[in-house]
Chains A and B, each alone.
Chain A
Amino acid sequence: MATTQLADEGDFDLLSTIYDIIKSVEKEQQDNNQKLKDSQEAGQKVLELQRKLDHAREVVKKLPGIELSKEEQLQQIDLLRQQLTLKRDLLNKYRSITTFDREAQTEFQIHQH
């Protein structure tokens, strides 16, 4: 299953590597040379597992948007939407404000007296 464009499906496929290691460890060989080969192979598989784990960690670090938990992220979106609405309303209010007119002038004079 693909997560994002940054991560491939194979990045997190650790189980198969573990299975490979188990398989190569459990291989019963009578021949000493083959045993050596098997153990070497097992060792390589272990290294491969280690590499995969490190790679998975790197990928996770690069994934965007996971600094917060899902709830916190939804809260953030809510907050941003509220902010945007407030600011939009503010701007619209000032854009639609009428310039000087007689009504405002008489109001001002009433306030003065």
Chain B
Amino acid sequence: MTSHKSTREVLLTCIDDIEIIAKELLDNLIAQKQQKPVSAEHSQLVELVLQKDTELKATLKLAEEQGALQQKVVALETEVERHDIEIRNLQKQLKEAEQLLATAIFQAKQKLQAIDKANSRPVNSEELIKFAHRISASNAVCAPLNWQQGDLRRPYPTDIEMRLGFLGRLGEMNVNGHMSFPELLHRPNHSMQQGSSVPNSQAGTYSWLSQNDLQMPGLSVSHLGVGGGMDHKTPKKENEDVDVMSTDSSSSSSSDSQ
């Protein structure tokens, strides 16, 4: 197959041959005029040039046919290119689909694992709601729905609430030397009845407390003090210490109320 010359090469060779033969012919002719004639060679050359011309014409015909074929080739190549583009698009789409499906399957597997995990250790929804109540009772998670600017409630225990707590009343109740648990229980009860400006959060915690079975005594004691309503602070030495502590910039925000 490599011995096949392209038609273009054949044509160009033909033309070159004709040129050479024509030159020879003319040289011969001129020589003929000047010297004795060499007619045999001359006729040979003439025949040769005629032959080459015929070859040229035949090759030109072939070139014409090939030109027509070339149009078919171009059309086929265009079609093939079009199909290539379609195949590439399809490939892209399949790749995307595969990715989407892989993600979906992965997430579904994770969901199934979570479901299995949840089924292996079921939790009572009532308990979950109770815990949620407890956690959000202090308004640390989210402000109360009716909270406005100027509301004294804060997401952290304010100094008032701290003073009403165990540590705050540690100095107050030190008459007996120690506080008994029932006293702590009764105190907030008393104060609750007198309390005028009781913030809602304090009432909320107390109501939670009364419902609960006091499962966490440590926590409940600190919240007990919250139940007391405070009109004024009893000036005591321990309270002064508490005051000093509470004038810390971070906790004085409760007095920053507008």
Interface residues of A (CB under 8 A from B): 1-4, 7, 12, 14-15, 18, 21-22, 25-26, 46, 49, 53, 56-57, 60-61, 63-74, 76-77, 80-81, 83-84, 87-88, 90-91, 94
Contact = CB atoms under 8 A, between A and B. Distances in A.
A81 B76 contact: yes
Given A12-B60, A74-B69, A80-B77, A26 B29 contact: yes
B110 interface: no
B60 A3 contact: yes
Contacts of A65: 63, 66-71, 73
A44 to B, nearest CB: 14
Contact of A87 (B15, B29, B84): B84
B188 to A, nearest CB: 64
8 contacts: A3-B60, A22-B25, A65-B68, A65-B71, A77-B73, A87-B83, A87-B87, A94-B90
Contact of A84 (B33, B50, B53, B83): B83
Secondary structure at the B interface, as helix, strand, loop or mixed, is helix
Interface string B19-34: 1001001100110010
A68 B87 CA distance: 29
Lowest 9 CB-CB distances: which A-B pairs, in order?
A65-B70, A66-B7, A87-B83, A80-B76, A69-B4, A66-B8, A65-B66, A65-B67, A3-B64
A80 B73 contact: yes
B244 to A, nearest CB: 72
Contacts of B61: 1, 3
Given A72-B4, A77-B76, A94-B90, A57 B83 contact: no
Contacts of B77: 80
Contacts of A53: 15, 18-19
Given A60-B12, A63-B63, A68-B6, 15 more contacts: A14-B22, A14-B53, A18-B25, A22-B25, A25-B29, A25-B33, A53-B15, A64-B67, A65-B69, A66-B63, A69-B4, A71-B1, A83-B80, A87-B83, A88-B83
A49 B22 contact: yes
